[in-house]
Amino acid sequence: MTSTPGSIDRQVSAVDVRGALGTTYGEVEENADVLDPGTAERRTWREPFTGILREIWMPGDGDGNLTAEHHDQRVPPDDIKQRWKFYQSTDFDPTLNRVDVDKAFPPRFVILDDRAAYEILSSNIPRSHLSEFWGFDFSGHGAIRSRRPHRGRSAVANPDANGNDKYHHGFMLNKKDKYYFTGQRDYQAVIWYNSAEQRLKRKREVDLEEARKESETRKKIPLQKRHNQYTPAEQLARTKNRLVREQLGRYVPTSTSTKPAESTRPSATQLAILSPLVANRGYLPLNPPSTGDDTASSITSASPAQQSKRANGLTTNNQENSSSDEDFPFYRRSTTSFPGRVPSERRSASGHFTPPSPASRVDPTPTRSARDIIRVKDQEIAEKQRRLDEKDIELKAACTRIAELEGQVAMLMKGGR
């Protein structure tokens, strides 16, 4: 690690910091540089494999430039100010053992050391944001990159353990290989120590800067209307409904009963005369007789029981039903004349139906069961098989005859020689 020349006004030992503030992960390194960000000069750090020089992140730097670098980019920007900074420390708050999004969200678009990478990996930050904000350290689904070199401080889990068990670990993309945050060898950490006065002063400066930027933004952006459409108050739904209620007044029901009165209900005789279709499928004339008709007057003067019997095609003398239409003067057809209407039926002028001719009736297709269908199919298959067998016998006989003829021809040719 290299540093730019310059004087440092405040520099205390790591032992004093440990006694005053405690530790976050593991122990504070004995050779760490504890600096005050308000007076310290900018520090730089060089990557172990590529040798790229980067600035060490300081409190107040904020997020990096998203479009400046990419983890697959071979050549970094020429200007060191445009490169992603090396983030190797938090704000050194000993009360936070994990990075909390609401209290101390780490800077984005920076390169993390091992301890910062583990703090972010074990925090409540969504895994989908890890590769988006810290692409040099994490790949898709928040897994650690397989070729990530060890940088900066180590994340100590158990100081008394040996080997890799001493450090925290994470998983790579295959979720099988472990990555131990052992840190960079011979690395000298830089710890930023902020006194209470410096913290309060910096917070006030940040608040004033944010207020100034917000006021400038409000001056640049003009006030925008919510909409460019004006609706009169009398056309609004709430006003219109109120005006309608005031004009119509309150609704007062005239009757508490939901059923019609007895005087307005039709009688059985009226239903029998006016309804085109009554019980037993007997049809009544659409226009009841208006002139002097003894039968109509008898219906109106008869008792309700007699009216019901006549409406259903029964006589008052309890006689049997007749098949002729003469016994049923108010019926267009009797219930037992013929089964059902077919398209060939016609209605005569007198109101009677003419029965269809036998030739116009079509016999329905007889229904067959599944067993009958299978039996018919088996018979058809057996017939086809019999025909195939006959053709096979004829073919064999033809082949035998051809062989005999060939033998005779051969004997004749041999005798001729």
Asked whether the beta carbons of 36 and 9 are under 8 A apart, the reply is: yes
Distance CA 155, CA 182 (A): 7
Please, which pLDDT band fits residue 195 given cuts at 50, 70 and 90?
A: low
Please, which pLDDT band fits residue 103 given cuts at 50, 70 and 90?
A: low
Residue 267, pLDDT > 70, answer: no
* Burial label, 351 (beta-carbon count in 10 A; 0-12, 13-18, 19+): middle
- Report if pTM > 0.75: no
* Burial label, 80 (beta-carbon count in 10 A; 0-12, 13-18, 19+): middle
pLDDT number for residue 149: 92
- For the segment 125-142, the average pLDDT, to the nearest whole number, is 89
Token pair 């004349």: residue? 337
**Segment 140-194, tens digit of pLDDT:** 888 999 889 999 989 888 988 999 999 999 988 888 889 999 999 888 888 877 6
H or E segment to which residue 12 belongs = strand 11-12
The fraction of the chain above a pLDDT of 70, given in percent, is 55
Measured over all CA atoms, what is the biggest interatomic distance in the chain, rounded to whole angstroms? 138
Closest by Cα among 335, 334, 352, 354 to 344: 354
Quote the Cα angle for 351-353-356, to 5°: 160
Q: CA dist 116 to 54, 111, 150, Å?
A: 17, 9, 12
The type of residue at 66 is L
- For the segment 121-133, the average pLDDT, to the nearest whole number, is 87
Closest by Cα among 145, 152, 95, 102 to 121: 145
- Relative to beta strand 2-3, strand 43-46 is antiparallel
**Segment 56-77, tens digit of pLDDT:** 998 888 889 888 888 888 788 8
- For the segment 39-49, the average pLDDT, to the nearest whole number, is 88
CA atoms within 13 A on the CB side of 76: 18
**Segment 313-333, tens digit of pLDDT:** 444 444 444 444 444 444 444
- Relative to beta strand 53-55, strand 43-46 is antiparallel
Residue 98, pLDDT > 70, answer: no
pLDDT number for residue 367: 64
Distance CA 102, CA 392 (A): 93
pLDDT number for residue 391: 92
Q: What is the phi/psi pair of residue 111, to 5°? A: -95, 130
Contacts of 269 (CB under 8 A, 6+ apart): 299, 300, 304, 307, 311
Distance CA 142, CA 117 (A): 11
Distance CA 56, CA 40 (A): 12
